[in-house]
């Protein structure tokens, strides 16, 4: 029987890249997102690759929706082998004392609470089966704050700490836990951060070749397919001309 991976935020960017790579790697997929029409499009694409697909339309920020979605799974879909907590975003690039309360709430509720919601609802069955893998998509931003990154950086620092804590909590089991920390990745990330201003978003990648969602998906699949005794605990993935969260050489 094929293994099953559940990917949050699978309709674009890193999440979509992971869905494609895991389908190509022989997994069946549970894909989640907030837009059913986009989930349907992704489902059709993944089925053409050869994967069986289940779509769940809900917002990871909403605990009741998370629970209802997981509780709705039946049959083989109840056995989730890999949970990829990918859903996340950055909003705004203001100084901390000028930041938007709404942006803060959205980032904290999605990047931290959403990840916790899914972890709480999926990992117990992994522990019970003594098998499974949680892959959290963190960020280089979680290693050190950069100018005007304040709250976003804090949420990704929380992802690192939460991931490390979970790894300790399940160390007595065969469940594995991975934190993947991308650097500059060209997705809709910057468009979202600048509230739809594509000109500002494009400037983020000017003069440097950034990573793609597929690049990060390659790392996630490698971690998932490592031998059972190998736990890829943490991976920092940067563009070649990026040294850390704030040092990027543009040419």
- Is 222 among the catalytic positions? no
Q: Crossing angle, helix 213-225 and helix 13-24, to 10 degrees? A: 50
Q: Choosing from 27, 97, 146, 152, which is the catalytic residue? A: 152
Sheet holding 4-7, edge to edge: 53-57, 28-33, 4-7, 82-85, 133-137, 176-182, 234-237
Alpha-carbon dihedral angle through residues 1, 125, 120, 72, given to the nearest 10 degrees: 60
How many Å apart are CA 127 and CA 91, to the nearest integer? 34
Strand 4-7 vs strand 28-33: parallel, antiparallel, or unpaired?
parallel
- Residue 9 in 3-state DSSP? coil
How do beta strands 133-137 and 234-237 pair? unpaired
Q: Residue 201: helix, strand or coil by DSSP?
A: helix
Question: Which residues in 41-60 are b (16+ Cβ under 10 Å) and which e?
Answer: ebbeebeebebbbbbbbbbb
CB-based contact 245:201 (threshold 8 Å): no
User: Residues 192, 90: contact at Cβ < 8 Å?
Assistant: yes
Would you please indicate which residues are annotated as catalytic (active-site) residues? 152
């Amino acid at each position: 029987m094929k293994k099953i991976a559940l990917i949050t935020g699978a309709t674009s960017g890193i999440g979509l890249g992971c869905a494609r790579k895991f389908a190509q790697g022989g997994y069946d997929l549970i894909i989640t997102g907030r837009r059913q029409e986009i989930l349907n499009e992704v489902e059709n694409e993944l089925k053409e690759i050869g994967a069986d697909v289940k779509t769940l339309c809900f917002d990871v920020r909403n605990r009741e929706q998370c629970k209802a979605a997981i509780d709705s799974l039946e049959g083989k879909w109840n056995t989730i082998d890999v949970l990829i907590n990918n859903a996340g975003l950055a909003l705004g690039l203001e100084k901390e004392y000028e930041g938007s309360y709404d942006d803060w709430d959205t980032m904290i509720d999605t990047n931290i609470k959403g990840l916790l919601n899914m972890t709480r609802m999926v990992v117990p069955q992994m522990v019970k089966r003594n098998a499974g893998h949680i892959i959290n998509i963190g960020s280089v931003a979680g290693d050190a704050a950069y100018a005007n990154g304040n709250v976003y950086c804090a949420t990704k620092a929380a992802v690192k700490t939460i991931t490390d804590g979970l790894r300790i909590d399940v160390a007595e089991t065969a469940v594995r836990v991975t934190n993947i920390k991308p650097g500059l990745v060209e997705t809709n990330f910057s468009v979202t951060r600048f509230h739809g201003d594509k000109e500002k978003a494009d400037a983020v990648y000017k003069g440097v070749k950034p990573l793609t969602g597929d690049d990060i998906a390659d790392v996630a699949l490698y971690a998932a397919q490592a031998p059972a005794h190998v736990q890829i605990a943490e991976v920092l993935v940067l563009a070649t001309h990026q040294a850390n969260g704030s040092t990027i050489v543009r040419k």
